[in-house]
Structure formats: structure tokens, C-alpha cells
Amino acid sequence: MSVFINRDTKLVVQGITGRDGSFHASQMVEYGTQVVAGVTPGKGGQTFDPDGKGARGVPVFNTVEAAVTATGANTSVIYVPPAYAADAIMEAASSGVKLVVCITEGVPVLDMTRVYAFVKERGVRLVGPNCPGLISPGQSKVGIIPGRICVPGPVGVVSRSGTLTYEIVYQLTRAGIGQTTCVGIGGDPINGTNFIDCLEAFERDPETKAVALMGEIGGTDEQEAAEYVRTKMKKPVVGFIAGQTAPPGRRMGHAGAIISGSAGTAAEKIEAFEKCGIGVAKRPIDFVELIKARLT
């Protein structure tokens, strides 16, 4: 099993003819994801050829609605420039897909206040923005997580980061520990899916036996997740917080990674983890031993 995406995921790629969209659409096809449609306004009727061999052409549409009607897509992934991303998310949420994954970095936060209300009202799950997407190893990949670092197995992975997630997943894979699903929820202050949404899904998923959670400075999402683990979860969770050496008041790359005044520090998040029974990885490599101990 897996969470959010699986073999039945039928994907529409918004921005499929752009530089990032075309590259990653090809990568997803190669991984085995069912990429059923692409959308680029003005390029409807064209065919996207993911491998240059002409055999696996993906039809391109002008609108997401047309793509969904024609192909039955149930999930969308977005690679469009930041100024258009909010509209792209709302278009997807209006089209009938149930899951929208927004990779785009740099979406203005006030745009996200409108988008968040919009997708919630329609019961659509949004992952991101500013995220690497999801992968259920061996089944489907939606986004940009490198497929070769993942293998199927019992660990659910959820993270606010991209490359740090790759680092830790890679360490787990090298140690022979596979994953059910890896979810990158994104580094922005307002995102569609938070840690608790993922923990809930992993708790329900029969094949997930333990969860690896990678947080960072800024906000209180990790503290709330810790409380959820303490009160609602039976499965073991191991956590890490990036940004212990970050100065207050500075945005550490991710728009959401900022200590405001004295709130959102790594120390307070680690303390919450410890209080709530989450195993604390002091270094990325520590995940391996901590997860191993909880799987036996």
C-alpha cells in the first residue's frame, strides 16, 4: 500500500511544455507513473513525446478540465512560474481531480491564503507549493524526487525539504530500509498538506510500520505534529529538525524557514518531539539506527 498516490494515479502535468515540466514529465513516465495528459494553454492538440521515440506520446490540452474530461486524470502536478501558480492550483481544483501537487517555488503567501480556502471548500488535497512532490516507490512518482534513491518498504517519509529528504531517504535505502510513500509537503509558510495530514494517512496505511519526519525552523507545524503523535498514533515516529544554527529573523532559503522573534526555534521543536515520544535524530544519518530499532 501507499498514501495519496499509487498505481492507479492518473496524472495530468500542468506546464508540460515548459523547461521543468517537460524534463520531469519525461522522468515520471520513465519511472512508470501513468502520465495521461499535459496542459499548456495555446498548445492544445499537440502531443508531448517523453522519450523522443514517439511510442508514448502524451496528449496536450488547453485547459485542465478538457484534459480530465478526455483522459480521466485524477491527479495534477504543477510546474508553472510562481505568478501563475495560484491560478493553476485553483483551475486544477475546479476540474475534478482529487489531488493537486504544486512544485513551483516562490508563490506569494497572500495568493496562498485564497488558494487554501478554495481547495478546502472543494475537498481537494493540495500538496505544496514549493515542494518536491511524492513518490510511492515501485508504483508512482508525482514531482521531482529522484526515483533511483527510493525502494519499496515499510517507512513513511514526510518532510518540509527537498534535498535533505533525498539525503535521508538515500541513507535509509542504502541500509536496506525501504519506503511506502515519501511526501514533501514544502517549505512555504502556507501549504495545502501539513505533517498531521500525512501522519494520519500513514497511521491508516497497513504497510507503513514507522514514520520518518523531517521538519525545520519556523512556525508550529512540528509541535502540533508531535502532539498528534502523542495522542493519536500507535506507530513509531522518528524526527529531525533542520536549522539549529540558524539566526533569528532571517529567511533560510525556504520562505517558511524563519524564526520570528523567539518562536519557531529548532530547540522548542526538538523539545516537543522528546516530550511526545518521537525519536530525535541529531544527525541525518541517525535515522537509520533509530528507524531500525523501531521496526524490529
CA–CA distance, 226 with 243 (Å, rounded to integer): 18
CB atoms inside a 10 Å sphere around CB 87: 12
Summarize as ranges the residues that interact with other proteins (CB under 8 A): 82-83, 106-110, 112-114, 116-117, 132, 144-146, 149, 159-167, 170, 187, 189-190, 214, 216-221, 224, 240, 242-247, 250-257, 261-262, 266, 282-285
Q: Which residue has the cell 520513465?
A: 30
Residue 285 C-beta: closest distance to other proteins, Å: 6
Task: Name which of 245 and 296 has its Cβ closer to other proteins.
Answer: 245
DSSP calls for 142-178: EES--GGG--EEEEEEEES-SHHHHHHHHHHHHTT--
Grid cell 509558510 — which residue?
189
Query: C-alpha grid cell for residue 226?
Result: 508531535
Grid coordinates given for 41 = 494553454
Q: Smallest distance, Å, CB 207 to other proteins?
A: 25
Tell me the backbone φ, ψ of residue 240, rounded to 5 degrees: -140, 145
Instruction: Give whichever of 201 and 281 is closer to other proteins, judged by the CB atom.
Output: 281
**Judged by CB, which is closer to other proteins: 67, or 190?**
190
Query: Least distance in Å: CB of 106 to other proteins?
Result: 5
Cβ contact 241:270 at 8 Å: yes
CA distance 50 to 17: 10
Cβ closer to other proteins: 138 or 189? Answer: 189
Query: Tell me, what DSSP letter sits at residue 278?
Result: P
- Which grid cell sits at 43? 498548445
CB closer to other proteins out of 1 and 109? 109
Known catalytic residue at 24? no
The catalytically annotated residue of 125, 160, 254, 269 is: 254
CA–CA distance, 166 with 183 (Å, rounded to integer): 11
Question: Which residue, 65 or 167, has its beta carbon nearer to other proteins?
Answer: 167
- Residue 1: CB minimum distance to other proteins, A: 25
Q: Is 34 left (phi over 0), alpha (psi -120 to 50) or beta?
A: beta
What is the smallest separation between the CB atom of 145 and other proteins, expressed in angstroms? 7
Least distance from other proteins to the Cβ atom of residue 162, Å: 5
Residues 6+ apart with CB under 8 A from 212: 155, 156, 157, 158, 168, 172, 237, 238, 239, 240, 287, 291
Catalytic residues: 254
